[in-house]
Copies of this chain bind each other. A is one copy, B any other.
Amino acid sequence: MNSASDLAALAALLADETRAAMCLALLDGRAWTAGELAIQTGVARSTATEHLHRLIDGGLLVERRQGRHRYVQLAGPSVANLLEDLSARLEPRQAPARGLRAAAVSAALRRGRTCYDHLAGRLGVAVTDAMTGAGLLDQTGGFALTAAGLAWLTGPVGLDPDVLRFGKRPLARGCLDWTERRQHLAGVAGARLCEKFFDNSWVVRIGSGRAVRLTLNGKAALRDLLGVPDID
């Protein structure tokens, strides 16, 4: 009805620990089956079904049915964005427990990972910092790709200029990194750059999680493109 009840309805979707855990798991950007999410969150399959219904009805998730499987996925970058913002708000309060938290999070995850569709962790922050230092990103007056940055992406990096023009999603956006407490590059540019990293095998996934590892090729590429001496 009114705007308050809409806001409450949206918040209610995430107000349950199981649904929240599902969304956080889906933050890796990939599609999960209903059963996988049931196991991940530790509830019965029937319970997971109900939760997924609500999340899909609420527009946070989309489904794709394939044979006897039902794959669900975040509905888009804006949902991932929202979840990141909410998670970021949690961090400051947990800051005092930094030592413990740092130990709880795997070293690989802190070193590098994907954050929905872009790079995060020390790797993501290092790339962002190097781009800023090279005048490709402007972080002093907000967060934006400079003209030089656009030229760099379409030139040396070799991205198609067309894929960088995409509707209303911003070209560059800062995303607060929850392990580094620093911003890293998100938005269309972040997503396409991440894609490029995978396509060129500059990074590879570690196991089945969202952690990634920089390859030797990747290190060389970062040196050539950004003058990054060595990460980690």
Residue numbers of A with Cβ under 8 A of B are 2-8, 10-21, 23-24, 41, 59, 78-79, 81-83, 85-87, 89-90, 93-94, 138, 140-147, 149-150, 170-174, 187
Contact = CB atoms under 8 A, between A and B. Distances in A.
A170 B183 CA distance: 11
A205 B90 CA distance: 34
6 contacts: A4-B18, A7-B86, A81-B85, A85-B85, A141-B171, A142-B145
A17 B3 contact: no
Contact of A140 (B5, B14, B23, B171): B171
A83 B86 CA distance: 10
Contacts of A147: 141
A28 B63 CA distance: 38
Secondary structure at chain A's binding surface: helix, strand, loop or mixed?
A: helix
Contact of A8 (B3, B17, B143): B17
A11 B15 contact: yes
Given A82-B85, A172-B141, A90 B6 contact: yes
A30 to B, nearest CB: 18
Given A5-B17, A7-B24, A11-B15, 8 more contacts: A4-B20, A5-B20, A14-B15, A85-B85, A141-B150, A141-B172, A142-B142, A142-B187
B16 A8 contact: yes
Contacts of A23: 7
A86 B90 contact: no
A164 to B, nearest CB: 10
Nearest to A164: B141
A76 to B, nearest CB: 11
Contacts of A174: 170
8 closest A-B pairs (Cβ-Cβ)? A142-B144, A141-B145, A144-B144, A11-B14, A4-B21, A15-B15, A142-B172, A12-B15
Contacts of A18: 4
Nearest to A6: B90
A141 B144 contact: yes
